[in-house]
Structure formats: structure tokens, C-alpha cells
Structure 1
Amino acid sequence: MQTTTALDALIADLRALLGDDGVSTDARVRERASVDGAKMSPVILELLPLGLADVVAFPTTAEQIAGCVAAAVAHGVPVTPRGKGTGNYGQAIPMPGGLVVDTTRARAIVEIGDGWVTAEAGATMVAIEAAVRETGQELWMYPSTAQSTIGGFLSGGSGGTGTIVHGANHQGFVVALDVVHAVADASLLHVDGENAQAYVHSYGTAGILARVTVRLEPLQDWHGFYASFDDQHTAFRVLREIGRLTPAPRLVSADPAAIAEALPADDALPDGRSSLRAILDPAALDAATALVVDAGGTVEDLRDGPQASLKLSVLSYNHPIEWLQKSDPGTYVHLEVGGDALVDRLDEVQAVIPGGLLHIEAGHTVPIGMLAGVYEGPERLASVIAALGELGVGVHNPHQWNVDFEVERTIALAATTDPSGLLNPGKLNPDYAGPRKGAIR
């Protein structure tokens, strides 16, 4: 809890800026603004609650986001940015309390150009995608949680639909940013090119994203493609081959029957069979069909239109594991994994953890996925990570809220942009000694 004097002064300033409807100290609002999807992690679940906001602000423009940060800095109150709270590991939880800036009302799509779109941080990915489609364009990529905000995806996400071609969201997706530093008279600062990349995937610890410009590409007529197989080995081998087709897919996902059966019921996901799902260019449909049939699989359905693609997107990346967890609460933990060993040494990979089940995606260069298994404590999880490394599997342990991407660069930047350590405190820890070796990002 911050000092009463500082909080009262901050709340008064925020009400002057945003009006009474734009500021809340209600306990229920503060509680909702202080959690994210961290319950997906049994490691973090053991540590919750991690913090509780003292006040929540709801700016409606990028300029008001900057004004909220300026007010917090003036009164020495920590500030944590928040989008939809769809992150899974506590990055949006206000560990020291203070101010949470909920950006979801700052959702204007400011301008759409040839190959780019500018939107405020609270605009959702699905809304941006729908808007740019009207101009014959589409986003380079969007996360599996398509209702996430663009600011949240750039601050805490990595990849998703479109990653096969374009890589992660720090690999050219961002054209420019308007960011806010925690300095006296904080205001919008425009950065572009390489200077903008330093703020991506840093959880707002070096600057809060208020407005963003990201890349578009020409709209394609994507088709949803569903196939099934007797066994997961075949499904995974075919996934790797489909991921290498030209034109490249926008997404390819596959699951063993045990995970597929936990997904929402769909005639294209038959019980007892491994599932492969893809978003394909029409020019690749014949080749994908041949790969499935030649491997003894069955093409279950073809679906067209943007809603078909969206449905497949939300059944990718973390989401199948979330559905698996819902089917058997309290059982599963997961790790982010990558490499050809996921296909070539599948049985060995799944055997490193009790009840091992692998969800897999066609990645930018190699298959990537989520390995789930029975949670037996953090020490056992560390031994699983070591065993995967011996198999040639790249591993990222997501069960921590500390910035673990370009850490030294972010620390150096934050020394200038956040000299008092007010931006999302607890998330940029220079003494953090967690698992980075072999990270797949």
C-alpha cells in the first residue's frame, strides 16, 4: 500500500484528468485489475496473490495514458500497465500495488496505410484485423488470444498466427511506437525502427506503450483445413511437411487424441484420433491434402472465411493446453519447447515428464510446442528441463514473471527511462537467475 498522502493526491489528479468514471478505488475493480491468466501456471499459483492495485485508471486515448503515467511519477506511485489480462504468468499483476493503467478503453484505430496500421494500445487484435481487411490487407500476425490488445501482445506476447512466415513479434512486426517513460513531465515519445524494438516483450518495464504502428500485408483468401490421423507421430510428421509448403501456411497445429478430445466439440475433431488443423492458402490445399492422404490420414473438413481462420487461431499455442487443464484441474504443468526433436524423438520427449502430452505448431524455422505433464513441484520441473536439453529440445520455462528477453538491454534502457523504478516493479530483476539457457524465443 502506498502512503495515503501520495495516493490521495494521485487519485485527485487522475479524476481531474479522466473524470470520476475513469478512476476506481472499488475493491472489486481493484481485484479484477490485479490478476491475469497466471492460474494456468501451478508454479505461480502457489505464490498468488502477488499484489493488489490501490487505484485503477481507465484512459481513453494515448495522451491520457501518458497523463496517467505523469501523475503517478509526480507522486512517486508505481504504475503497472494492463491490456485484457490474457497473459498467463503474472506479468500484469501489480506486485507493489499502486496504480494500474487499464488501456482497454484507449482502443482507437487511428490510421490505416499501405502496409501499416496505427492503433492505440487498447485496440484488440481482432478489431484491428477486421478493420484492415476492409482495405484489402491483414496483420502480419496476431496471438492465439485474438481478443488481446495490441499493446498487451507487443509488451508480453511473442508470436501466433502468421509466425510461420514472419517469426516473433520483435522481428520486424513493429514499425513505430509512442511510449511513455517514467520521468518528470512524462509525455508521448515517438520511436521507430530499431529504437522501437527495445520496448517489445519487456512488460512495460522500460516504457509503457500508448500507441503502436505495425506491419500489414496483402489480404489472402485463407481456408481452414482439418485432418485427423490414427497416431500422433504421423500427425506431427505431416505438420512439419505442411509447414514447409509454398505458399506458406498462416498456421499449422497438431495434437494427440488426448488433447484433441479436450478441445471444444467439433465434427472435424473426431474422438480417438490425433488432430491436425491449418490455415492454408487455396494454392496449397491440394498439396496439403496429398500429404495427409499419403500418410494414411483423413481430411475432415475445409472451411473458408475469416471466422474459420479465427476459430483455428484460438485452438493454437497455449490454448489446447488450457483446455487440457480444464479437463483435469490441478494436474498439468507445461513448458514451451522447440526443435526437430519434437517430431523425430517424440516418444522420448513425452517420456521425460509423467503423463507427457505434446501440442505442436509449425514454427518459423523448426516445430515449436507446449509439453504438458503431471506437476510434481519446481525441482522436478527443473530436471525435466535438463532432460529435454539432452534430447536436443530448446526449452523456455514460462513459469516466472520476470523479463527474460534481452534482459541486459532492457535494464540499461530502464536506467534512463525509469530512474525511480516505478514501471511495473518486480518484473525487471537484474539478479534474476532463472532458466534462460536453451530458450526458444
Structure 2
Amino acid sequence: MSALGAIDTTRIDALRVELVDILGEAAVATDDARLERASVDGSGMSPLIKELLPLGRAQILAMPSSAEQIVATVAAAVRHGVPVTPRGKGTGNYGQGIPMNGGLVLDTSKARRVIEVGDGWIEAEAGAVMWMLEQTANKAGQQLWMYPSTAQSTVGGFVSGGSGGTGSIANGMIHQGFVKAVEVVHATGEAAAVRVEGDDAVPYLHNYGTAGIITTVRVALEPLQPWRAVLASFDAYEDVVQLMKPLASLTPTPRLVSGDRAEIAACLPAELGIPAGRASLRAILDESTVEEATRMIEAAGGRVDDVREGAQHTVKLSMNSYNHPIEWLQKTAPVPYFHVEVLGDALVDRLDEVQAVYPGGMLHIEAQRGRPIGMLAAPYESAADVLAGFDRLAALGVSTHNPHQWAVDFEPERTAALAAVTDPQGLLNPGKLGATVHAHTGTQM
């Protein structure tokens, strides 16, 4: 098996026969159209990765409809020595879901059953959509600790590839108590499901399935709150940035506080009602804090343009946070843009210097527990220019994460040690663990 290679067709054909017997004819595909769709994700958002595409192509696609079928599918692939690349909704932006060694793409999105809702937790199959889990929790008087900005992502995809999201201001990242338990299937022996709980589950998070394919997930819930979508605007973006920490300190803690310069805000969907030519601040606040937040916004020179009640409005704010404003910018700008994920107090204290690291740089900012985070976007010239900016950002006290590479960068040594035991043949999402990619990775956030 070589990098970006493919498995001989004899093994693929034999695997197909077995998978059809396990899953049924309709759940197994080898036609070009579906294989092409299963071999791409959202990595086109990175102009650096886009220059390298295609990076791999599936030879067979399986769509199991239950956790048990996921286990059986992985077991079959292991018996035939065929690589397995797991896939949820394919919304990842860094190439994590590209089958770089060909083989099998395992689409988990059909395995979406909610198994049980308890006091403080909900458990579901890997393909369950995060927004569906949120709605299910709401009916039980609870809410998710957090959900990704792409609310239609699957829970398996979120905990395998994500870091945090809406709700992280209060509850941190996915590895900080959000995940209560996972069931995973290893690429060993008969590839049976293994349940791991608490801290033992953490090594299986944010590693793209390289140490085990997640079949079910139990995540944390908390009591339901009366959220409001608050939309405010300012003449100056600097005033938005200065409010990140004060708003994040409200009690109860906001679920989201997000801000953009007028140039980026102008690219966002019109239904948000953002006034033209003004910097935007968008927040999901507990109803009890709206009055205090309004006072803070007005004192900083801004105005509250609207306060909206209902989940349909709060999820819209979520769907236009984190990297989504940069995606809207990319769709409308006449030149290609790239972005770098950034973290640190310097985003507030040294805003002009941070934006000046790249010519034409513009910062999208988010309140976060501890320190603000953001997406620094600028017109794309070359990969070398992008990577050279990392050192300049570090000199300003800014931590960076490089979204233009696909290697596991959260505890990679720990993941490699675990995968040596759980995946001795290197069949699980090969090319993502211990890879040398594009040039180098950024500093882990």
C-alpha cells in the first residue's frame, strides 16, 4: 500500500460481495458518480489544499444503517486488508475525510438512531445529526453543552474531527468533559465494538478515526435555557472586538458571541438583517442578560438592531460563526481568500498588528473561554506566504492552527501509540496520522 495509492481490485471485489451480504445491494456502491462524491469534503475552502486535489478516491462506498452494521463493515474491511476512511456529512474543511489510499469510504450518516436521553446526557449512533440531538434534548428540558457551527454535522463527525462550537464559551472543547462515552471498533481480529467512558474516551476524539471508528457517542447535556439571538452593529470594528471579553463574562454565560468587520458582514446572508456598512456583533444570550448586554453595547458606541426568539434564529447565528463568515467571503470576493485559525488576547489588544500580518488581512472574532479565538483571512498569493505568517503571528503572542493540512494534530504521539495497538495494519484513515503535509503544521491551539 503506497501513499495516495489504491488497493488491488481483487480485494475490493471480494469485499463488495461480503458487504452486499451484510448491508444489502442498495447500501454498497462502486459507481463513479457516488465514489467521486464520497471522496471529497469541504477542503476546497483551503486554496493550499485545493491546489493539491484530488488527493485520493474511494474504490467502494458502504452506507451502514446502524451501529452494528458499522462494526460489521469495518470487520469485513479488516479481513480483506482494505483501508477504511470514515465519513459523516463530509463537512470537514481540512481533507480529513479524503480516502488518500483508496479503499473503502464508510459513510456513517445512515446510522442515526437516538439511543437514549438521560439526566445530563444523550446517546446516539455516530450518524445522528447534531441539530436533531439538540431538538431531542430540548423536548426533555435540556440542551447540548455545545454543537458545531455546521449544525447539520453528525455527532460522530463532530467528535472525530471538530474541536468546539456554540456553547464552548461556557463548556470548553469537546475533550473537556463534553464526550461521556464512545463505542469504537478497532481494526484488529474480528473488529468488535469496544465501549470506553470518561477520560478513557478522550484519546479517540479529534483524530479522524485513525485509532478507531466511532459507532455510538454519549455527550453531555445541561438544563434548557431561554436563548435569544441578539444582532448589533457598530461604526467601528474595534469596538466589536473590545466587547468580546465583557460579553463572554455575562452570567449566565452566552452561548455564542461573534463579530465581523463591515467588509465580511456584507457577505453574510441577508436574512440576518445586518445594516450595510457597519461592523456586526451577533450573540446568543440568555434572556435574563439581554438588558445588560444592550447597555454594554450602547455604552461602547453600538446599537442593538434586533432581538429574536426561537431556535430557528439562534441556529442561524451559529451557522454564521467560526469559519462560516470566511466561507461567505470566499463565495463573494473577486479574489481567492485563505484563513488561519488564531487564538489569544493579542486579537483584542493588538488587533491592527494581527490583521497587518497578511496584506489585506481581516479578522473574524469569537468570544471563547479563556481567550478570544478567530479566523484571520486575507487574499491568497502562495502557500509560502501563508506559512511564513505563522512566525509573525507567534511573535505577536498569537497561537495558530493551520487549516491547510490533514494530519492529526491533537496529541498525535498519543494517537500514534494507540493506533499501533488498535490498527496494527494501518487501515484506519491512512495518510492522516504521522503524515508530512504540504509544508508544516501550525502551532496547536
2:306 match:
301
- Report what 1:256 is aligned to: 261
Q: Is the CA contact 2:405–2:441 (under 8 Å) kept in the aligned structure 1?
A: no
Code of the residue aligned with 1:36 in structure 2: it is: D
The partner residue of 2:65 within 37, 48, 60 is: 60
Aligned residues with identical type, % of pairs = 58
1:422 maps to which residue? Answer: 427
Q: Which residue of 2 aligns with 1:10?
A: 15
Q: CA RMSD in A?
A: 1.2
Task: State how far apart, in whole Å, the 1-side matches of 2:429 and 2:331 are.
Answer: 30
Q: How far apart are the structure 2 equivalents of 1:61 and 1:235? A: 45
* Structure-1 residue corresponding to 2:361: 356
C-alpha separation in 2, matches of 1:439 and 1:196: 21
Deviation of 1:383 (Å): 1.8
> How far 1:266 moved relative to its partner?
3.4
- Larger mean CA deviation between 431-440 and 377-386 belongs to 431-440
Instruction: Give the alignment of 1:120-131 within 5 angstroms.
Output: 120-131=125-136
Match of 1:390 in 2: 395
TM-score by length of 2: 0.97
Instruction: Report the 3-state secondary structure (helix = DSSP H, G, I; strand = E; otherwise coil) of the residue aligned with 2:247.
Output: helix
Secondary structure of the corresponding residue to residue 186 of structure 1 = coil
AA in 1 matched with 2:44: K
Which whole-Å CA distance do the structure 1 matches of 2:69 and 2:442 have between them? 40
- Equivalences for residues 155-166 of structure 1 within 5 A: 155-166=160-171
- Aligned partner of 2:370 in structure 1 is 365
Describe how 1:317-332 pairs up with structure 2 within 5 A: 317-328=322-333, 330-332=335-337
Structure 2 counterpart SS, 1:170: helix
| AA at the equivalent of 1:366 | R
Map 1:171-182 to 2 at 5 A. 171-182=176-187
Q: Which runs of 5+ in 2 are unaligned?
A: 1-5
Q: Is the 8 A contact 1:411 1:430 kept in 2?
A: no
Partner residue, 1:315: 320
Q: Quick one: which of 47, 51, 55 aligns to 2:56?
A: 51
2:89 is the counterpart of 1:88: no
The question of 1:134 aligning with 2:139 is answered yes
User: Partners in 2 of 1:267 and 1:382 — Cα distance?
Assistant: 34
1:208 to 209, 213, 216: 213
TM-aligned CA distance change 1:109 to 1:406, over 3 Å: same
Please report how far the alpha carbon of residue 32 of structure 1 lies from its aligned counterpart in structure 2 after TM superposition: 0.4
Gaps of 5+ in 1: none
Q: TM-score, normalised by structure 1?
A: 0.98
Q: CA deviation at 1:329?
A: 5.4
Match of 2:242 in 1: 237
Is the CA contact (8 Å cut-off) linking 2:282 and 2:317 kept in structure 1? yes
How far apart, CA to CA, are the structure 1 residues paired with 2:131 and 2:247?
26
In 1, Cα distance between equivalents of 2:246 and 2:38: 43
Task: Give SS of 2:377's match.
Answer: strand
- Higher deviation after alignment, 242-251 or 415-424: 242-251
Is the CA contact (8 Å cut-off) linking 1:60 and 1:106 kept in structure 2?
yes
Give the alignment partner of residue 190 of structure 1, picking from 192, 195, 199.
195
Q: Is the 8 A contact 1:239 1:276 kept in 2?
A: no
Separation in structure 2 between the aligned mates of residue 43 and residue 308 of structure 1, nearest angstrom: 34
